[in-house]
Amino acid sequence: MNGQRWTTLAAVLVIAAPTVGNAQSTIPSRLTDKEIWQLNAEFSEPGGYFRSDNLLSNETGFQAVIPYLRSVIKPGSVYLGVGPEQNFTYIVSLQPKIAIIFDIRRGNMIEHLMYKALLETSADRAEFLSKLFSRPRPPGLDTTSTPQRLFEAYIAATPDSTLYKRNLAAIKAHLASRGFTMGDSDVKSLEYIYSQFYEAGPQINYNFSNGGGGGFGRGNMPTYATLQVATDTTGKNWAYLATEANFRWLKDFETKNLLIPVVGNFAGPKAIRAVAQYLKDHHAVVGAFYTSNVEQYLFQQNDEWSLYYKNVATLPLDSNSTFIRSIGGGFRGGFNNASPQMRFGGRLASVTSGIQDLLKAFNDGKIQWYGDVIGMSK
């Protein structure tokens, strides 16, 4: 997903992933408004280009890895990720101490701030969906409603332009009250992003806009509703809207300012390294790093993949630190060594690999193309 080429790097490091001891993490249990915006500024790089708006995930098998992740990653570690809402499900499932979301698109940061405002000001899932899609709350929905019932009701609901305008004004006012100042370009970005959710409703998908072309169903992409009623391979739904308890945990996490959206290129000179230093200063360890299929794009852009793994090597890690990646997105090779568990229904599921194991392979010269990364995944 990182489409911008970075041509400079401050220094060349010896790639040796630091192993962190058992020191107690000093990550605060809550960040002040001033602290979250300060960290946002300190971690972020200039925004770059990606070919899609990417307002919604297209990874239908993203829950398949959650049972394994929960078996190896203890609550209270650090979660790193990329992209929009799929991170919420991983975060709720893993319950990290703090979560930091990178994306080369500044629009992704604005989308996360939109979510922050909506989550913090909604009492339950039904109210949240009413605000997200600007549909009046259908009767009969309560905290016990299944995600299937919630989305069926909102798919049938009629969009309300008055509600949309009122909600948009409330999002802006809430972010301002929390101390986030948006410039004109950020305001326009927020208005555009929120309008897409209003226009498409629960049937929004990855291809709805793509810069204005958009439309439903193109490329057989899953909708918001489809993703929220998805399950793992055993039939369990871990989605952040699957239960009221999941929603409330995420709402509390956001209210405590523990999800920090960052503008950053995986191969860039600042974002990952700045986060790494912050985590080291607070004796924190990365538990999971969700990369979607960013690595696929980095291998298509000269040596950006190498710069990226050098950046990752600066993070504080242990033997349980785990990459989560999607291997869809048009990749057509490198599956000979992949496990059968990679396939989930008609699409490729998300997969995992140990971060330290991959960095060792990188140091040993065993990572030369994207297929080598997939070959180490399971």
Check pLDDT > 50 for residue 214.
Answer: no
pLDDT at 21 exceeding the cut of 90: no
Helices (H), the chain: 33-43, 66-72, 86-94, 106-120, 125-133, 147-156, 161-177, 184-200, 224-228, 244-255, 271-281, 294-298, 304-312, 355-363, 370-375
Residue 209 has a pLDDT of 67
Is 252 within the bounds of a domain?
yes
pLDDT score of 339 more than 50:
no
Total tally of structural domains belonging to the chain: 1
3-state class percentages of the chain: helix first, strand second, coil last, to nearest 5: 45, 10, 45
Q: How confident is the model at residue 344 (pLDDT cuts 50, 70, 90)?
A: very low
User: Percent of the chain beyond pLDDT 70?
Assistant: 85
For residue 110, the model assigns a pLDDT of: 97
Is 49 inside any structural domain? yes
Rounded Cα distance between 263 and 123, Å, is 29
Q: Which helix (H) or strand (E) holds 261?
A: strand 259-263
Contact, 133 vs 197, CB < 8 A? Answer: yes
| Residue 3, in any domain of the structure | no
Alpha carbon distances (Å) from 36 to 43, 49, 258, 311, 360: 11, 25, 8, 22, 33
Lowest mean pLDDT among 1-10, 168-177, 320-329: 1-10
Q: Which of 125-129, 298-302, 323-327 has the highest mean pLDDT?
A: 125-129
345 lies in which domain range? 33-375
**CA dist., res. 171 & res. 121, Å (int):** 9
Is it the case that residue 261 has pLDDT exceeding 90?
Answer: yes
**Tokens linked to 6:** 């970075």
**Mean of all residue pLDDT scores within the chain:** 88
Q: Is 186 helix (H, G, I), strand (E, B) or coil?
A: helix
Please give the average per-residue pLDDT across 84-96, as a whole number.
98
